[in-house]
């Protein structure tokens, strides 16, 4: 009996150890075996213990189930956590992209503002151009009227030119008649006056003092005034103001010079003090102006008449502000008639200064009131005096005194002048 109890107890303990690893059928077989071994009171106690064990085992199984469920929940939570982390990273990435989009939008807005400014500016320019187009349209209508007026003016101008040609012919005829008339009366009057002067001097002079040289000088003077000189050559070593006669202009006074380059020179232009205003119109330069004992310009028409009757040479005397003296000499000086603009011709050059006057050769004389200009602009207006301009000049002897009275060198430096003289003389054969 005691052994049976021990066996039952051992079986119960064995069952406890095997319960976690046996299947349902094995458990059933063990239970059945235990019931067969004993049905005593001891078995009942052990069976009670077994029931408690099963109850604990059931609770343990439920706990394991719960732990497994918790593990599954944890695993699911971890999965959800990783999904949330992924969503967060995605949100962060999208937030970063959103910031970039915002910055891009800001840049686009700035560009749009710049474009708007450009559009506003272009619209303003278009409006301005439209205004200009409207003005040009009005001007086009005006030009149409202007062309009609211009045509009408051209017709009248042609008629005026015909009248001017006729007037010139009449003037030439009048001048010729005046010359024929003036050939006698001034000459006779001059000879008479000089003869009276000579006779008075002869009467006042004792006969013993009248030498042959004096008589010869008197004879030369009588010959000079009798022959009506057309240059300063006959006056030789007698410089100063003398009267000459030139075909086309008649008698007029000139300043003769025999000191600068020998006898017989006519001074046609002189700047020695800046007292005379050289900002003059075409008519004044044509006629001449100034005083022979100061600054003066002989006159373009007189120069043309002088140089058209025979070959003349030109001598230019220059004194710089520092006292240096220069000269330029040309062997065939002449100017054309007024219809050709008194164009300048010089011939060959020699001198101790640069050939700056060559820049003006073949150029027409220009004044501020004369319309045509070779250069794009009016040099006569810019420099305030008449000259043979060529973009504009390299030597300007009619320039404003102290500012434009100058002569350029080949190196580009400028000789500022305080004195300038232009002299002409018939060229010796």
d(CA 377, CA 275): 28
Residue 207 pLDDT class (50, 70, 90 cuts): very low
Which H or E run contains 266? Answer: strand 265-271
**Among 253, 204, 243, which residue's Cα sits nearest to residue 221?**
243
Domain parsing of the chain, residue ranges: 229-426
Whether 321 and 417 have beta carbons less than 8 Å apart is answered as: yes
Task: Quick: pLDDT tens for 174-189.
Answer: 565 555 455 545 554 5
**Are 47 and 32 in contact, with CB atoms under 8 Å apart?**
no
pLDDT (mean) for 115-137: 81
β-pairing verdict for 344-345 and 395-396:
unpaired
On whether the 229-426 domain is CATH 3.40.50.300, my answer is no
Of 279, 277, 305, which is closest to residue 367 (Cα–Cα)? 279
Highest mean pLDDT among 168-177, 199-208, 227-236: 227-236
Model confidence at 202, pLDDT cuts 50, 70, 90, reads low
Per the CB < 8 A criterion, the answer to whether 30 and 13 are in contact is no
Q: Are strands 344-345 and 349-351 parallel, antiparallel or unpaired?
A: unpaired
Q: What pLDDT, on a 0 to 100 scale, did the predictor assign at position 269? A: 97
The answer to which of 192-196, 351-355, 367-371, 395-399 has the lowest mean pLDDT is 192-196
CA distance 407 to 324: 13
Place of tokens 């211009």: 150
Nearest Cα to Cα of residue 328 among 254, 415, 230 = 415
pLDDT confidence tier of residue 384, bands split at 50, 70 and 90: confident
Q: Which residue has the higher pLDDT, 113 or 217?
A: 113
């Amino acid at each position: 009996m005691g052994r049976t109890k021990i066996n039952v107890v051992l079986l119960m303990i064995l069952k406890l150890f095997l319960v976690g690893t046996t299947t349902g059928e094995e458990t059933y077989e063990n239970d059945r075996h235990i019931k067969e071994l004993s049905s005593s009171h001891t078995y009942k106690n052990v069976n009670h213990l077994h029931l408690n064990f099963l109850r604990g085992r059931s609770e343990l199984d439920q706990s394991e189930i719960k732990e497994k469920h918790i593990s599954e929940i944890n695993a699911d939570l971890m999965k959800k956590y990783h999904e949330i982390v992924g969503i967060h990273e995605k949100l962060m990435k999208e937030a970063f992209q959103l910031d970039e989009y915002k910055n891009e939008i800001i840049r686009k807005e700035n560009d749009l503002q710049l474009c708007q400014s450009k559009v506003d500016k272009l619209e303003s320019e278009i409006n301005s151009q439209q205004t200009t187009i409207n003005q040009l349209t009005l001007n086009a209508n005006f030009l149409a009227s202007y062309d009609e007026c211009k045509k009408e003016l051209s017709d009248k101008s042609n008629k005026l030119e015909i009248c001017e040609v006729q007037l010139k012919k009449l003037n030439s005829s009048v001048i010729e008649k005046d010359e024929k008339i003036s050939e006698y009366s001034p000459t006779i009057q001059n000879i008479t006056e000089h003869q009276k002067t000579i006779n008075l001097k002869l009467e006042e002079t004792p006969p013993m003092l009248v030498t042959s040289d004096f008589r010869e000088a008197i004879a030369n003077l009588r010959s000079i005034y009798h022959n009506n000189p057309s240059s300063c050559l006959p006056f030789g070593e007698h410089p100063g103001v003398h009267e000459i006669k030139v075909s086309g202009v008649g008698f007029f006074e000139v300043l003769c010079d025999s000191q600068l380059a020998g006898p017989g020179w006519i001074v046609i232009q002189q700047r020695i003090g800046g007292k005379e205003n050289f900002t003059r119109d075409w008519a004044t330069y044509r006629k001449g102006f100034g005083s022979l004992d100061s600054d003066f310009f002989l006159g373009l028409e007189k120069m043309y008449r002088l140089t058209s009757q025979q070959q003349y040479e030109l001598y230019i005397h220059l004194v710089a502000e520092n006292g240096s003296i220069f000269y330029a000499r040309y062997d065939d000086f002449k100017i054309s008639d007024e219809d050709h603009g008194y164009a300048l011709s010089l011939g060959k050059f020699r001198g101790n200064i640069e050939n700056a006057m060559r820049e003006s050769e073949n150029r027409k004389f220009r004044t501020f009131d004369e319309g045509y200009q070779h250069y794009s602009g009016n040099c006569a207006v810019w420099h305030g005096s008449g000259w043979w301009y060529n973009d504009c000049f390299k030597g300007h002897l009619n320039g404003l005194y102290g500012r434009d009275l100058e002569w350029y060198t080949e190196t580009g430096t400028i000789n500022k002048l305080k004195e300038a003289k232009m002299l002409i003389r018939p060229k010796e054969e």
